Amino acid sequence: MYQKAYGIIETLAPLHVGASAGEETGNLNLIFRDQFTLTGIIPGSSIRGRFRADMRLEKGNCDYWYGREAQNAKQGANGSTSQTVPASPEPTPETVTQPGQTATPATNEGTTEGAVKFEYASILWLPVYCPNQPIVRVSCPSLLKRYQKIAGLTPHRIQPYSYYVPQHAEKPKRDRLFFNLGFLPLKTEESKLKEYLPSQIDDAEDHLLLVVKDTEMAMIHDMALYRQSRVALKEDEKIVAGTSFFNVEALPEKTVLVFPIALKKTEEIPNPRSDFAREAKLETSKELYFGGLESVGFGRTQVTLKEAKQVAQDSTQDSTET
């Protein structure tokens, strides 16, 4: 049995988590994208790796939460094999009754299953420049529906071109907005959209929320990405010196992402989310770095863990706007 929780990531700097092979040519560093909406994601492996490394730094119980690898057999000089045993083994699930408490190390040195599972983080709201706003948070029905399921919100169908004006945001003077790609209509003011923006987000009440079609999200996403190019020019000509060219794209600052977490429940640990948050020093929120290019100012984020709500079983039908 697993307890459902989820994490909210707010980017405080451009965020680049990119493909490593086969998806870039000529030093064009692209980001990972969802296969349906073609919007940026953070793979679950990247999230798990960062959380695990941070817990080790905080002296948390990594072997319990993330599992323990089998110890490799070491080949001796005479051809014999000996089992590699760490000098001071970390606690395993067999030796831990509660996180933070250790007992006598067990003799079992096989692989153990971790108590926490991560999925990929998808965009919830993407900040896009818009004249006279100047920032609009944009999403689409597919991304909002994923958040709806992860957070346990009451099912509700959000229609394209719905919008919501938070308390401190400037109200549009017309029934449309102008982006670089042209005009987008503002059809219906949807008050329920405020439930889809976590309150922990900085400037949550300062920017207009807008929902576009799933088919339009990819184009708007590419328009909003942070891009940086660097070249080394020849001394006597304004052309690239050899192959000295670098280009990178990243999710912009103020992007909001969401990812689900599952935590194994036991008789000794009936509420694993609170124990995990305590050991990970994430009772409230915490700054973590994700992705690459940290040395040049990429990857800084604010992460918050929350417990998913339990939706009533009879709430199975989406409410359709009329």
Interatomic CA distance for residues 170 and 208, integer angstroms: 7
Same domain, 115 and 134: no
Which of the listed residues 205, 224, 243 is the one where a domain comes to its end? 224
Interatomic CA distance for residues 105 and 89, integer angstroms: 7
pLDDT in tens, 127-180: 998 777 678 999 999 999 999 999 989 888 999 999 998 877 778 777 888 776
Specify the higher pLDDT residue, 88 or 16.
16
Residue 251 is classified by DSSP as B
Same domain, 114 and 149: no
Answer for the pair 48, 36: CB distance below 8 angstroms, yes or no.
no
pLDDT in tens, 267-300: 778 788 888 888 887 777 889 999 877 777 888 9
Same domain, 164 and 183: yes
Same domain, 131 and 154: yes
Asked, for residue 317, whether it belongs to a domain, the answer is: no
Asked, for residue 297, whether it belongs to a domain, the answer is: yes
Same domain, 135 and 115: no
In the chain, the percentage of residues whose pLDDT exceeds 90 is 22
Asked, for residue 73, whether it belongs to a domain, the answer is: no
The boundaries of the domain holding residue 294 are: 1-16+44-66+91-103+110-119+251-308
Specify the higher pLDDT residue, 171 or 73.
171
Answer for the pair 58, 279: CB distance below 8 angstroms, yes or no.
yes
Residues found in the chain: 322
Query: Other CB atoms closer than 10 Å to residue 168's CB: what's the count?
Result: 10
Same domain, 302 and 286: yes
Asked, for residue 284, whether it belongs to a domain, the answer is: yes
Interatomic CA distance for residues 120 and 221, integer angstroms: 18
Which of the listed residues 186, 207, 224 is the one where a domain comes to its end? 224
Asked, for residue 141, whether it belongs to a domain, the answer is: yes
- pTM beyond 0.85, yes or no: no
Asked, for residue 241, whether it belongs to a domain, the answer is: no
Same domain, 5 and 96: yes
Task: Report residue 191 as tokens.
Answer: 């008050």
Residue 67 backbone zone (phi > 0: left; psi -120 to 50: alpha; other: beta): left
Answer for the pair 50, 296: CB distance below 8 angstroms, yes or no.
no
Q: How far apart are the first and last CA of the chain?
A: 39
Interatomic CA distance for residues 141 and 124, integer angstroms: 10
Asked, for residue 61, whether it belongs to a domain, the answer is: yes
Q: What is the mean pLDDT of the segment spanning 100-117? A: 61
Q: Please, which pLDDT band fits residue 60 given cuts at 50, 70 and 90?
A: low
Same domain, 284 and 182: no
Asked, for residue 176, whether it belongs to a domain, the answer is: yes
- Single out the residue of 208, 211, 216 nearest to residue 160, CA to CA: 211
Same domain, 98 and 181: no
Average pLDDT, the chain: 78
Answer for the pair 41, 122: CB distance below 8 angstroms, yes or no.
yes
Interatomic CA distance for residues 103 and 118, integer angstroms: 27
Residue type, 41: I
Contacts of 120 (CB under 8 A, 6+ apart): 41, 42, 43, 44, 47, 259
What pLDDT is recorded for position 30?
Answer: 80
Same domain, 145 and 218: yes
CA-only gyration radius of the chain, Å: 23
- Number of domain units in the chain: 2
Same domain, 166 and 196: yes
Same domain, 115 and 150: no
Is 63 a residue whose pLDDT tops 80? Answer: no
Angle, in degrees to the nearest 10, between helices 141-151 and 214-224? 90
